[in-house]
Amino acid sequence: MDTRAEFFIGGRWVRPLTSDTIDIVSPHSEQVFATVPLGAAPDVDAAVAAARSAMSGDWGHSDVAERAGALRRLAAEVIKRGDDIAATITEEIGAPVSDVRTVHVDYAEPMLDYFASIATSVDGVDYRSRDSERSLVRRIPLGVAAAIVPWNGPLLSPLLKLAPALAAGCSMVLKPAPETSLTGYLLADAVAAAELPPGVVNIVSGDRETGECLVTHPDVDKVSFTGSTAAGRRIGELCGSRMRPVTLELGGKSAAIVLDDAEVESTAQSLLPNMFSNVGQVCVADSRVLVPRRRYDEYVAAIASVARSIRLGDPHDPATAMGPLVAERQLDRVQDYVRSGVAEGARVVTGGHRPCSQTTGWYFEPTVFADVSQSMRIAREEIFGPVVAVLPYDSEDGAVRIANATDYGLAGSIWTKDIEHGIALSRRIQSGVVAINSFGGRLVAPFGGTKASGTSSATSARARSASFRPRRRRAS
């Protein structure tokens, strides 16, 4: 049992002001393996006050060299703790040891270094003139940022909020998800070792009520939230009533559009991470695969074969490729959607059940549906599990209509040998990110969605990005 009894506030470990705790449960064993304190309003007050103090002190007047140096020191300390962080993430969310370090940890260093390198772009003075009028535009830190992050990216989600905030010269109060609070403690250890000024980063574990205390705190200047669309709407309402800037990165129901020139077997294999990464618990997952009707049966068979090839099991086993879902409620949610799909007339090609091989744990087989219509729940709603629907289209115009026929607009992908055609087609997809022959979301591109996938108060014009990877032909 790993028991934590303090919060990281003002550069030191401090006792909570209540005695309530959070139990962290292993999704593999279904047993409690750690306990952390549950933050309440007084703890949030202390964390925000520390962040405000940092903004009033040297950090609020720091230069870009100081900020870049802080980010690079933090990157080094995170990587030093890489093995411990990876092992903790395996315990918390069931990520397999075979890839948890690569997927969840090692990306932290280049990401922090990237934001350190662009720190200069958010500082300085811009002189503008027209005719006899001259203006001076100065960028200054916004102030205290509040960040609420989900459990599916225990390290990278916090860092993707922390890094740009620090690059801009802001301080932050971070609330990790209850399920992954231990990773938050290891991040706090790295912050302390990196010798960031006291109060620049404060981490308080808690639940939904803790998050609401943080979002509504009068001394918070900006809120950034990643999570469900339902929670995002609530946070948006709270911030809107307070005229508080807010960034919301919410759910998705992304479509992979496979064009007629793509090769069946290699495309199905390449789609594997898009469909089933992190047990499908990824906001940018391609949970709908749109394929030409004339090749529909081929693609259904190939995608089902890929799903069957995934080794499901104990995440501590190096041979395991897919572990359990994060919580029992998540398993219940996935099972409900599978039952719904069958009831509405879709056909389960493979999967659809809890595996007999696992006597404990919230496991569910990689599942592929065929004969899916756009009106079905499994084609319209975010499942957040290892469930993929394969839908046919008759023309590219039809594929675009199906891809856009959703309340969401976060990500997607296009699969083709003709990169330029893929990029042109991506302009018609109502998503923040569209990958070409790849997985949605790249560090050097803006990230965010439209419609029910979220909003950013930082821009008045929507940024849309298309990342691409050339398809290599197999040697004959």
> So which residues are the catalytic ones?
249, 283
**What is the distance between the alpha carbons of residues 15 and 475, in angstroms, rounded to a whole number?**
62
With beta carbons less than 8 A apart as the criterion, state whether 225 and 216 touch.
no
Return the bridge partners of 114, or none.
Answer: none
With beta carbons less than 8 A apart as the criterion, state whether 210 and 18 touch.
no
Contacts of 189 (CB under 8 A, 6+ apart): 77, 81
| Closest residue by Cα to residue 431 from 227, 235, 228, 251 | 251
With beta carbons less than 8 A apart as the criterion, state whether 284 and 251 touch.
no
Q: 425-443: string of b/e by CB count within 10 Å (b at 16+)?
A: bbeebbbbbbbbbbbbbee
Residue with tokens 């990306």: 107
With beta carbons less than 8 A apart as the criterion, state whether 105 and 155 touch.
yes
SS3 per-residue string spanning 132-192: CEEEEEECCCCCEEEEECCCCCCCHHHHHHHHHHHHCCCEEEEECCHHHHHHHHHHHHHHH
Q: 17-32: string of b/e by CB count within 10 Å (b at 16+)?
A: eeeebbebbbbbeeee
What is the phi/psi pair of residue 251, to 5°? -80, 180
Q: What's the full length of the chain, in residues?
A: 476
